[in-house]
Structures are given as C-alpha cells and as structure tokens.
Chains A and B, each alone.
Chain A
C-alpha cells in the first residue's frame, strides 16, 4: 500500500530480459529432446536416452519453478517447504518401479 502514491505518473520499463532468456532455454531443451528422440538409436542406447530425458526434464522443471514461479527468489523457508517433500517422491518412484518389475516377473515369466 506504500507505493499507492507513486503510481500513474509514468510507465515503468518492463523487466522481461530474464523471462525471455528462460523461454529460449526451455525451447532449446525441448528441441534437443526431439533431436535425441529421432537420432539416437533406441535399440542400443535405450537407457542412455531415458537417462538424458530424465535429466533434461529436471533441468526444465528447475527453470519453470525457479524463474517462472519465482521460487528461486523466495525466502529459504518456503523453498525448503516445497523442495523437501518433493524429494521423497523420488523414493516412491524407485520403490514402485522396482516393485512393478517383480509383479511382471510373477505374472508373465514365472508360469
């Protein structure tokens, strides 16, 4: 409310440099994903591809959450409130995917 008095006198210049820089980074990473999807041989490098895709996805998530959602510039307490619970999801992913492998083994190969 303090800034109520100072507005409307003149139009402030837009600060969009960081926004457009982030846009180009996101576009570049997405294009890179497409190039990898079409050029790298999936028969031999399946897991290398998946690894690269997962890393690039996390990089994209970092830019969206950090810059677009502004989390990078928030107070530390808020950053950790969001990041810490999400780290446990990684555990869930690994646990359930391994479990899925066992279920498949029981269902299709054991008979």
Chain B
C-alpha cells in the first residue's frame, strides 16, 4: 500500500475514535427519543424537567452581551474558529510538502491559536451552562433550580446536561490533546527536526487528528445544537 505505516495507523486510530463518538451521539439520540418533546408551538416553549429542551433555547448567550437573546450565535463563532484552524492546519501540511520551514511554523502557530480560542470559548460556555439563567426554573414544590450539573438541570431532564458534559467534554479533551500535539510539532519544526529528517510527514499525521476533531465538532454541532 502506498501509505506510510504511521499515517495508516493514525487512520485506524481515528476510525476507532469515530466509533467512540458515534456511540456517544447515538446514545444521545436514544435517550432523546425516549423522552417526550414539548407539545405546543415553539414561541410558547418553556423549560421543564418533563420534556427534552429545544437546544437553541438553551444556548443563546454570548460573552459581553449580557441579557441579549442570540440563539446559536456563540456556537456559530466556535464552529467558525474550528473550521478556520482546520484550514491553517491543512496549509501547514501543504507547506510541509514544499518543505517550507517558515510557512510550517507560521501556520502551526495559527492552528495552535485557533485551538486555544476554541477551548476558551468552550470553558465560557460550560461556565454559563453550569451557572444557569437568572430566572432559574421553579419546580412543582416551589423551590428554584439554577444551572445544570450531573444530577440536576434547569433546562430539562438531567440526562440532557449529562450528555452535554460528556459529549462536549470528550470532544474538548480531544481538542486539548490536539493542541498539545500541535505545540510539539511546532517545537520540532522550529528546531529543524523534520528538515533533518527530510520530510514533514509528522505534520500530516497530527493534521489528520486535528481535522478529525473538527469533523466531530461538525456532527456535535448538528446533533446537539441544531436539531
């Protein structure tokens, strides 16, 4: 086969990772379909533990714009950041093919920056989700519930919060390890390791991992936020 051993193994690893993420998203689908949906019109939607929330009603806050109703806008920005960093990654791989050390360094730095920006955005989103809205949710016995954690959730059934933490958390862990790998590759490239080796295949292998992380986000974005 005309594929290097390391690259082939990276593909096989990504295939196994695909199954892990599929399992998480499919179990989200199963649990979601086992809960009732809100029966009324969308404009009358309100949060309750009795039915599954409409995600765009949950994720509608943007940093620095307090109290402004902007559904999906922040997730859209995060998606754009990740796609952009995928582009700079593929530009780094392309520069590696040309064995252009300076270009590889430049684009790796942009990719690392994109990864850090995405992680920071996710940290903000988690913080907002955990703290909850100002109104909170009034339960049947009169007590108020603010925010979400693994056992209670003001936006809907606790399972919704559990899946949010597990799926975006598992994806975030992948982004974090991707950033660490990118830093290592940048360090090696800057020290001329790949120049000495005669090829930049390492950039390509880590690039595959980074694109995979972007790919998973495309699916998480659709199935967790959009539908």
Interface residues of A (CB under 8 A from B): 1, 3-4, 7, 11-12, 14-16, 19-20, 22-23, 26-27, 30, 33-34, 37-38, 42-43, 49-50, 53-54, 56-57, 60-61, 64-65, 67-69, 74-75, 77-78, 81-82, 85-86, 89, 92-93, 96-97, 99-101, 103-104, 107-108
A61→B15 CA distance, assembly (Å): 14
> Which of chain B's residues have a CB closer than 8 A to the CB of A101?
33-34
Chain B residues touching A, range: 35 or more
A100→B28 CA distance, assembly (Å): 10
Check if B94 sits within 8 Å of A14, measured CB to CB. Answer: yes
> Which of chain A's residues have a CB closer than 8 A to the CB of B142?
none
Check if B72 sits within 8 Å of A34, measured CB to CB. Answer: yes
Please report whether the interface of chain B is mostly helix, strand, loop or mixed according to DSSP.
helix
Check if B1 sits within 8 Å of A75, measured CB to CB. Answer: yes
Cβ of B162 under 8 Å from chain A: no
Cβ of B180 under 8 Å from chain A: no
Check if B3 sits within 8 Å of A99, measured CB to CB. Answer: no
Contact of A97 among B33, B71, B83, B91 (CB under 8 A): B33
Cβ of B11 under 8 Å from chain A: yes
> Which of chain A's residues have a CB closer than 8 A to the CB of B31?
100
Task: Select the stretch in B98-106, B112-120, B144-152, B185-193 that faces chain A.
Answer: B98-106
0/1 interface trace, chain B 38-49, chain A, CB 8 Å (1 if under): 000110000000
Contact of A69 among B8, B33, B95, B211 (CB under 8 A): B211
